Amino acid sequence: MSKQPPSTQLTYRNITISGLPGSGSTTLLNALREHHLLKFDRWSGFSGGEYMRDYALQKGLLDANGKLHHTANAYSEDFDREVDMSMRTRLQTEDRWILESWMSGFFAQGIPGIFKILMMCSNTAVRVDRIVNRDQVTADEALDNMNMRYRTNSAKWRKMYKSEWQEWVVKPGLMSERDPIDFWHPDLYDIVIDTYSTNQVEAVEQVIDAISRKKAE
C-alpha cells in the first residue's frame, strides 16, 4: 500500500542515492534516515546492497565468513531484474522512500518527483581506506575487490539494461546515441556530492536544503 504524500514543505516525493563502493552512499542513507525532518515525516530507507547481501547469505551463495562484498554475478539476471524493477515500481507508486543502491538513480530516470543523488569520492586512497575499515581487509585486497566489482557489475548491467538506457536516457536527450552507457554519469543526477571534499554533516545539509527548496514557478 502506498504511503501518504510527503510533507508539502518538501519538493520531492522520493530520494535515490547512488554511488560506487567507498563513496559514502550508505553513510548518507543512514544519516538521512535519522534526520528530524524526514524522520518526523515518516520517511523510510532501503539499502539495495544490504538486501542483496542478506539474500545471498540466506541462499548459500556466499561464505558467511567472507568479508569483502560480492559481485552481481552471484545472482541470475532474472533475479537482478526482478529486484531492480521492483525498485522502479516503488519509486513510481509510493512516497517517502530513500532508496540506496549502485543503480537506484538509473531506475529513477523519467519518474517525476525523485531527487537523484550521486555520491563519489575523488580520492581513490580514501575510498580504499573506507573499505578497509568496513571489511577489515588489507588495502590491496580492498582495491582489487573494488575494481573487480566495478568491472564485473557494470559489464553485466550494460548488457542487461541496454534497451532501458535507450528508452530512459537517450530518447529523452539526457545522453546521445554516441555516448557510452554510464549509469553514474553526473548528467543523470540532480546533485553530485564528493565526499572527499564534503563531510557527512555538509552532505546531509545539501540534500535537505535541496529537497526543501520550492521549485521556481
Q: Which one, of 154, 38, 42, 169, lies nearest residue 102 by Cα?
A: 154
At CA 30, angle to CA 26 and CA 32, rounded to 5? 115
- Predicted pLDDT of residue 1: 40
Q: What is the spatial distance between Cα 141 and Cα 145, in angstroms, rounded to a whole number? A: 6
In this predicted structure, the answer to whether residue 8 has a pLDDT above a threshold of 80 is: no
Does 60 map to a domain?
yes
Q: Is the pLDDT of residue 3 over 70?
A: no
- How high is the pLDDT of residue 80? 86
Confidence band for 216, pLDDT divided at 50, 70 and 90: very low
What's the pLDDT band for 74 if we cut at 50, 70, 90?
confident
Full domain range(s) for residue 71:
14-212
- Residue 119 DSSP one-character state: E
Residue 187 maps to a domain:
yes
Mean pLDDT, the chain, whole residue set: 88
If one counts the domains in the chain, the total is: 1
pLDDT > 70 fraction of the chain, expressed in percent and rounded: 85
CATH number of residue 184's parent domain = 3.40.50.300
Q: Would residue 65 count as lying in a domain?
A: yes
> With bands split at pLDDT 50, 70 and 90, how would you rate the model's confidence at 59?
low
19: in domain: yes
* 63 vs 172: CA distance, rounded Å: 43
Residue 170 pLDDT class (50, 70, 90 cuts) = very high
- Residue 156 belongs to some domain of the structure: yes
Does a structural domain hold residue 6?
no
Instruction: Find the mean pLDDT for residues 75-97.
Output: 91
Q: Is residue 217 part of a domain?
A: no
Burial class (CB in 10 A: 0-12, 13-18, 19+), 189: buried
Select the more confidently predicted residue: 115 or 75.
115
Residue 73, pLDDT score: 78
Which residues, other chains included, contact 141 with Cβ-Cβ below 8 Å and sequence gap of 6+? Answer: 68
pTM of the entire structure? 0.88
Dump pLDDT digits (tens) for 87-114. Answer: 999 999 999 999 999 999 999 999 999 9
Is 116's pLDDT higher than 60? Answer: yes
The answer to whether 114 and 93 are in contact (CB under 8 A) is no
Is 75 among the domain residues? Answer: yes
The total number of residues shown for the chain amounts to 217
If phi > 0 it is left, if psi is from -120 to 50 it is alpha, else beta; for residue 161 that is alpha
Q: Which whole number is the average pLDDT over 49-71?
A: 62
